[in-house]
């Protein structure tokens, strides 16, 4: 029976425990988008996790939709991430890079006055999260077939840069209403070419990116992040079970290292079904899990590992606290986003500090 502390193999990676640090955008870089020493300290503090998945890293200038999110295009940016990975590895940890393109969850402000891109010209409801003064989203322009190939090449280049930066693998961000998800889901993909219409066509972009990442890393060091509840950033799919089931069937054929779902536990959750369709790809559960949820998911075999987000922001030693059933620090919500202060970032106390 698997427990929090039970080691696990995900593809080519052997994790010392099954507690995963979920990717968490913290907007802590300056305008040069270079990871800082404070970021290295932050990740190193949390290296007792079985695996850290980095905050989302934009794969091109076109991919950006939030200020102060890190990149990995330049040698200086790669060197900044190398400082992060070295710090994690020095503590015995593992860290994968999450690769990200926001698609239409952007604004001409970030695109040199041009429209953001997407699968189709569907305008999302709502406003940009962090841009001030507040701005409504705009209708994007669909990527051309040539641009789709360029975007796939951007992901592949970032996978190569992630290897140069010392990461242990890469996770494709295909969730939360960002670009890959915009191709997957029927409400945002109205294309009539080979990337739209049928579920096979809508999943094509995802699979072609994954194939490009596998060329760089091998399947055993590639993970995929999905959001089958279709409830983020004004998304929607006519048949999530069909869409995400087919996606997992095809990802299973590729024998990727794992899939990770942002889906809270409920009667209508489909992550277990996705696992069945995958033919045994390891599954990382995430979203609002309690300690007891995590224990039960692992004991039952419904999930192979469990991921925590906000709890890892507030508790650098979350793994140890979960194993010991120790009290958790409360996250300081007003300090989750920022660029130049350690407060609410690297100043959360560990159990040892509290008990000293």
| Active site (catalytic) residues | 178
Q: How many CB atoms lie within 10 A of CB 39?
A: 23
Query: Residue 63 in 3-state DSSP?
Result: helix
Q: How far apart are CA 297 and CA 287, in angstroms?
A: 13
Residue 324: both structure tokens together? 């010991």
Query: Residue 10 in 3-state DSSP?
Result: strand
Can you point out the beta strands (E) in 59-124?
95-100, 117-118
Query: Residue 60 in 3-state DSSP?
Result: coil
Sign of the torsion angle spanned by Cα atoms 281, 277, 23, 262: negative
Q: Among 71, 25, 69, 20, which residue's Cα sits nearest to residue 46?
A: 20
Environment class of 259 (CB within 10 Å of its CB; exposed 0-12, middle 13-18, buried 19+):
buried
User: Residue 199 to residues 187, 235, 301: CA-CA distances in angstroms?
Assistant: 12, 16, 29
| Consecutive H or E run containing 145 | helix 145-164
Spacing of C-alpha 297 from chain mean position = 21
Q: Among 240, 210, 242, 208, which residue's Cα sits nearest to residue 224?
A: 210
Q: How far apart are CA 140 and CA 121, in angstroms?
A: 5
């Amino acid at each position: 029976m698997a427990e929090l502390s039970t080691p696990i193999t995900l593809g080519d990676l052997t994790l010392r425990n099954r507690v995963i640090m979920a990717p968490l955008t913290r907007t802590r870089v300056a305008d040069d988008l270079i990871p800082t020493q404070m970021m290295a300290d932050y990740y190193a503090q949390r290296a007792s996790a079985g695996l850290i998945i980095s905050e989302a890293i934009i794969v091109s200038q076109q991919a950006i939709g939030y200020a102060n999110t890190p990149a990995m295009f330049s040698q200086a940016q790669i060197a900044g991430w190398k400082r992060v990975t070295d710090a994690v590895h020095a503590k015995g940890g593992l860290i994968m890079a999450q690769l990200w393109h926001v698609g239409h969850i952007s604004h001409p402000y970030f695109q040199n006055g041009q429209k953001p891109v997407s699968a189709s010209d569907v305008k999302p409801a709502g406003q940009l999260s962090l841009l001030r003064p507040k701005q409504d989203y705009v209708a994007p322009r669909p990527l051309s077939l040539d641009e789709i190939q360029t975007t796939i090449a951007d992901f592949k280049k970032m996978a190569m840069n992630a290897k140069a930066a010392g990461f242990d693998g890469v996770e494709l961000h295909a969730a939360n209403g960002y670009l890959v998800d915009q191709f997957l889901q029927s409400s945002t993909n109205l294309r009539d070419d080979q990337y739209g219409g049928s579920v096979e066509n809508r999943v094509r972009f995802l699979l072609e990116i994954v194939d490009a990442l596998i060329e760089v890393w091998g399947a055993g060091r590639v993970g995929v992040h999905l959001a089958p509840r279709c409830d983020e950033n004004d998304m929607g799919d006519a048949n999530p079970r069909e869409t995400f089931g087919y996606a997992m069937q095809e990802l299973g054929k590729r024998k990727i290292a794992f899939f990770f779902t942002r889906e809270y536990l409920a009667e209508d959750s489909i992550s277990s079904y996705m696992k069945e369709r995958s033919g045994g790809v390891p599954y990382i559960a995430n979203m609002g899990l309690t300690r007891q949820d995590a224990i039960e998911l692992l004991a039952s075999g419904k999930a192979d590992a469990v991921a925590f987000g906000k709890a890892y922001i507030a508790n650098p030693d979350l793994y140890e606290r979960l194993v010991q059933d120790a009290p958790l620090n409360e996250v300081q919500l007003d300090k989750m986003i920022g660029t130049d202060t350690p407060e609410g970032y690297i100043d959360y106390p560990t159990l040892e500090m509290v008990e000293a």
